């Protein structure tokens, strides 16, 4: 057990979920500290029925902390993680800053838990769109070895933070009332619209969000030969990312076999009855830690191709849940020593 733990970015949307999960999952600790920037430091939050003052994120804040779970923007993570490591604090980091660092393991506990134990003080949690995709890929890769993935994402506004949510609600209201609205986060209206760009232009016409899915997938599986062709789209949905995924495997996997593999995989729930209109939808999947899969079918254009639909709560398994699961891995490894 880690005697003293900290939540960095404790007042944010993901930080609030991490607090809730630590409470719900009875995460073991002796002392807990909540850290945030100057804007939120000094405020009060309630945890396990007790009031806690949010402390300022600074180097000295980690002097007696054994484990920190951080959900902050990249520039903040770039600064605070070294502060923590210098003080012998292990960090599970949600930001994108450390994910592709060769000295930092990138972990999804259901896929590569052993990687977490090779850390040098920092363990990274993947991008939300990557996390649900690789968890869905895992049972297929184990049986048939995936060679190629074509994925289109339909990403909720919650992935852009609280302001993204406000843009959707206020922008939709303004649209329906035929009033102007100045969007704060999105470069184009998101109300009743789709935006086929998430992130900045990065490589050969792909965006930074899309290239994350390429590089992170290969790192998690430890296989640089996996080919990934992603298209990431922001949609007017409040929460839960959806993905249309097509995989090509070395060994053919039928739809029936895939359905059985998915159903037997921890962390995956199958909803797949087209005739009955049963398949995963964001409205039904929000608030759940699972990755939901449906519309499982064989590719009509490729002999070893398999297509399916995947939905997951991007704030939970895509962010908070995965980070807490990594921290639980570390706790279990301590208990086993």
Same domain, 147 and 29: no
Is 128 annotated in the active site?
yes
For residue 56, list its beta bridge partners: 36
**Of 81, 232, 240, 241, which is the active-site residue?**
241
Same domain, 82 and 144: no
Element (H, E) at 5: strand 4-8
Same domain, 112 and 162: no
Same domain, 212 and 295: yes
Whole-angstrom distance, CA of residue 95 vs CA of residue 166:
22
| Torsion angle, alpha carbons of 175, 282, 153, 188, to 10 | 10
* pLDDT (mean) for 225-239: 98
User: Is the pLDDT assigned to residue 181 strictly greater than 90?
Assistant: yes
Please tell me the predicted confidence (pLDDT) of residue 336: 62
Sequence length of the chain is: 337
* pLDDT (mean) for 111-124: 97
Q: Which two tokens stand for residue 172?
A: 């939709």
Please tell me the predicted confidence (pLDDT) of residue 334: 75
Please tell me the predicted confidence (pLDDT) of residue 335: 64
- Read off the pLDDT of residues 210-231 as tens digits, 9 standing for 90 and up: 999 999 999 999 999 999 999 9
- Read off the pLDDT of residues 124-164 as tens digits, 9 standing for 90 and up: 999 999 999 999 999 999 999 999 999 999 999 999 998 99
Same domain, 30 and 85: yes
Same domain, 161 and 285: yes
Same domain, 36 and 54: yes
Count of CB atoms situated within 10 Å of the CB of 45: 18
Count Cα neighbours of 136 within 13 Å in the Cβ-side half-sphere: 32
Whole-angstrom distance, CA of residue 220 vs CA of residue 148:
15
- C-alpha closest to that of 218 among 330, 112, 324: 112
Q: Which two tokens stand for residue 320?
A: 């908070």
Please tell me the predicted confidence (pLDDT) of residue 103: 97
Same domain, 251 and 120: no
User: Is the pLDDT assigned to residue 1 strictly greater than 80?
Assistant: no
CATH number of 203's domain = 3.30.360.10
**Of 81, 89, 128, 310, which is the active-site residue?**
128
CATH number of 62's domain = 3.40.50.720
What total number of domains does the chain contain? 2
Q: What secondary structure does DSSP assign to 155-221, as a single string?
A: E-GGGG-HHHHHHHHHHHHHHHTT-----SS-SS--TT--B---S-EEETTEEHHHHHHHHHHHHHH
DSSP for residue 273: B
* pLDDT (mean) for 107-126: 97
pTM of the model: 0.95
Same domain, 138 and 87: no
- Read off the pLDDT of residues 268-318 as tens digits, 9 standing for 90 and up: 999 999 999 999 999 999 999 999 999 999 999 999 999 999 999 999 999
- Parallel, antiparallel or unpaired: strands 44-47 and 291-298: unpaired
* pLDDT (mean) for 6-19: 95
Beta-carbon contacts of 259 under 8 Å, excluding residues fewer than 6 positions away, are 270, 272, 296
Count Cα neighbours of 240 within 13 Å in the Cβ-side half-sphere: 19
Whole-angstrom distance, CA of residue 287 vs CA of residue 320:
12
Give the pLDDT band (50/70/90) at residue 333. Answer: confident
Same domain, 245 and 289: yes
- Read off the pLDDT of residues 52-83 as tens digits, 9 standing for 90 and up: 999 999 999 999 999 999 999 999 999 999 99
Considering the chain, what is the average pLDDT of its residues? 96
Q: How far is CA 56 from the centre of its chain?
A: 26
Same domain, 184 and 294: yes
CB 44 within 8 A of CB 16: no
Share of the chain above pLDDT 70, in %: 99
Residue 300 lies in domain: 130-314
CB 155 within 8 A of CB 133: no
Three-state SS at 40: coil
Same domain, 204 and 245: yes
CB 276 within 8 A of CB 301: no
């Amino acid at each position: 057990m880690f005697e003293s733990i900290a939540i960095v970015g404790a007042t944010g949307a993901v930080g609030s979920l991490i607090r809730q999960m630590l409470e719900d999952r009875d995460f073991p600790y002796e002392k807990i500290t909540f850290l945030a920037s100057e804007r939120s430091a000094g405020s009060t939050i309630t945890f396990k029925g007790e009031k806690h003052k949010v402390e300022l994120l600074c180097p000295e804040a980690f002097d007696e902390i054994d484990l920190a779970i951080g959900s902050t923007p990249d520039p903040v993570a770039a600064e605070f993680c070294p502060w923590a490591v210098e003080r012998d604090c292990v960090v599970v980091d949600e930001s994108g800053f450390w994910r592709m660092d060769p000295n930092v393991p990138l972990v999804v506990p259901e896929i590569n838990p052993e990687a977490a134990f090779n850390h040098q003080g920092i363990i990274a949690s993947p991008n939300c769109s990557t996390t649900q995709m690789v968890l869905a890929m895992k049972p297929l890769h184990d049986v048939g070895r995936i060679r190629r993935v074509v994925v289109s994402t339909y990403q909720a506004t919650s992935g852009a933070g609280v302001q993204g949510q406000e843009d959707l609600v206020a922008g939709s209201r303004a649209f329906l009332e035929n009033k102007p609205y100045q969007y704060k986060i999105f470069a184009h209206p998101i109300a009743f619209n789709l935006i086929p760009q998430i992130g900045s232009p990065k490589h050969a016409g792909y965006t930074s969000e899309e290239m994350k899915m390429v590089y992170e997938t290969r790192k998690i599986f430890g296989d640089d030969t996996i080919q990934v062709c992603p298209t990431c789209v922001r949609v007017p949905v409040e929460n839960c990312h959806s993905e249309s995924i097509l995989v090509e495997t070395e060994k053919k996997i039928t739809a029936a076999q895939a359905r059985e593999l998915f159903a037997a995989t921890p962390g995956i729930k199958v909803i797949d009855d087209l005739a009955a209109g049963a398949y995963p939808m964001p409205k039904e999947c929000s608030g759940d830690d699972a990755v939901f899969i449906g519309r499982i079918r064989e590719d009509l254009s490729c002999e070893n191709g398999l297509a399916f639909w995947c939905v997951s709560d991007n704030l939970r398994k895509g962010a908070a849940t995965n980070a807490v699961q990594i921290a639980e891995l570390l706790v279990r490894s301590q208990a086993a020593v």
